[in-house]
Amino acid sequence: MNWKYFYNIIIVPVLWIGFRVYALLNSKAKRSWYGRENLFDKLENNLSKHPKSSKRIWFHASSMGEFEQAKPIIAELKQKHPPVIIIVSFFSSSGYEHSLAYKLADVITYIPFDSAIGARKFVELVRPAAAVFMRYDIWPNHLWELNRRCIPSYIASATLHRKKYREIPVIRNFLRNIYNSIDFILTVSSEDKNNFSAFNLTHPVIELVGDTRYDQVWRRSSDSKLKQLLDPKIISGKKVIVVGSSWKEDEVQLLQAINRLIAEGMELVVILVPHEPTEENLDYLEKECNSKISNIRFSHLQNYNGESIIIVDSVGILMPLYQYADIAFVGGGFSAGIHNVLEPAVYGVPVVFGPKFANSQEAQILIAIGGATSVTTDQDVYELFSLLLKDENERERRGKKAFELVKSKTGATERFFNFLKL
C-alpha cells in the first residue's frame, strides 16, 4: 500500500476536520488553531534574525511536559555548541504560550498542521541539521519530508506502550512505515525498546538511553535551592505539606483530611498550588477553606498571621516550593491523571497521589520501590498523612527512596549525545 497516499487522502482530512470542530468547542484548541494564523510569515521573520551560516536544530514537543524533557538536551547543546540555532515547535497552545520566555530557544513556533504542503514548507524554511521529536509526538508528513532531504531525525525519551489497536494489521503496517522513516529511536526503558523492536523495523537505530526528565529535575532542583520563596519564620516548628497542580477532585479529598489533622492539633502549613490558578479556582478554594481552615494567598504573605493554608495564586514556582515539603501531594490522580512526580522526589520527599497514575511510568516505579503511595479516599489521605507526619523515620525512609531513584536515573542527556551527529 502507498502509505503516504493513504495518510494524505484519508487520514489528514479527517484529522483536520476533527481539529477544527474541537477548536470550536475547547478554548485551548481554539488558541492553538488561531495561533497558527500567518505561521510561515512569522517563522520566516524570526529565522531571518539569525545567521544563515549557523547550524539549526529543530526540537518538537506536544506540550509543556514533553518540552521539559527537551530542556536538558538544549542546555547541553548550547554549552557544547554555542553558535547553534535552536528552533522549538509545539502542537498545543499551553506548551507554546508557557515557553515563549524560554531563553535558550532562538525561535519558538507552532508546528503547522501535518499536511504534505505544510510539512514541506516548514522544513524548507527551518532547514535543520537535525530534528528531535520528544517522547511520542511525531507527524508523518514532517518525518517523510525530513527523510526525503536526508536530515537526521530522532525520538528522544521515546516511549511506546503496548496497545491492542496497534496489533491490527493495517495500523501496524502504517506505524512500521512511519517508524522506519526515523533514524534514531532512543527509548526511556528496555520495555519501550522491546515494544519498538517488535515492529521489526529495518532502518532506525533503537537504543535504551533513559529519560531526560530525570536530568531536568536534577538540574532544576540545584537552581531551586538558591531561591528563598518562604520566610523561614512561616514554617518554623511546623510540618509542611505541598500540594502541587491540584484539581478540584483532589482538593475535595485533601481538605477533609487536612481539616481533621488540624482539628487534632497538628501544627501544619499546607502550600496549595492549584493546576490552574484562575480567579474562579482561587475563589472556590477560599470558599471551601473559609468556614473550616484559616488561609491566605501567596501574594499576601507579607500579612501572614499563622494561617494553615497558603493558596498559591501565581505560576512557575511549584518546583522550588517542594524543597520546603515534609510530604508532597501531586495532583491529577483524582482527575485526568497525575502530574510530574519527579519534581518533589528529587528533594527526597515522600510522594502521595490519587488512584489515576497509569499515565506515569515514574509514579509506578516510585510505588514499586516505596517512595510513593497512591490513595483512593479522604480516609486514606488522612491515615497516610497522619502516619508520615508523626513517624519521622518512616517519612525519611520513603523520601530517601524517592531521591535515590532520581539520582540513579540521571545521565540520559549525555547518552543522547552519543547519537547526535552535528
Q: How confident is the model at residue 64 (pLDDT cuts 50, 70, 90)?
A: confident
pTM of the model: 0.88
Q: Which stretch of DSSP H or E encloses residue 342?
A: helix 342-345
Mean pLDDT in residue range 377-406: 97
Query: Which grid coordinates are listed for 156?
Result: 528522544
Question: Phi and psi at residue 210, in whole multiples of 5°?
Answer: 110, 180
- What is the rounded CA–CA span in Å between residue 115 and residue 117? 5
Name residue, grid cell 499536511.
Answer: 115
Q: b/e per residue, 166-202, with b = 16+ CB within 10 A? A: eeeeeeeebbebbbebbbbbbbbbeebbebbeebebe
pLDDT class of 370 with cuts at 50, 70, 90: very high
Share of residues in the chain with pLDDT > 90 (%): 84
Identify the structural domains of the chain with CATH numbers, from first to last: 3-210 (3.40.50.11720), 229-408 (3.40.50.2000)
382 has a pLDDT exceeding 90: yes
What is the mean pLDDT of the segment spanning 309-336? 94
Helices 248-263 & 279-290 angle (0-180, nearest 10):
30
Neighbouring-strand partners of residue 205:
184
- Measured between alpha carbons, how far is 328 from 241 in angstroms, rounded to an integer? 6
Cβ neighbors of 167 (< 8 A, separation 6 or more) are none
The widest CA-to-CA distance across the chain, in whole angstroms, is: 70
Residue 292 to residues 37, 122, 271, 282: CA-CA distances in angstroms? 48, 55, 16, 16
- At position 27, the amino acid (one-letter code) is S
- Cell numbers placing 327: 510530604
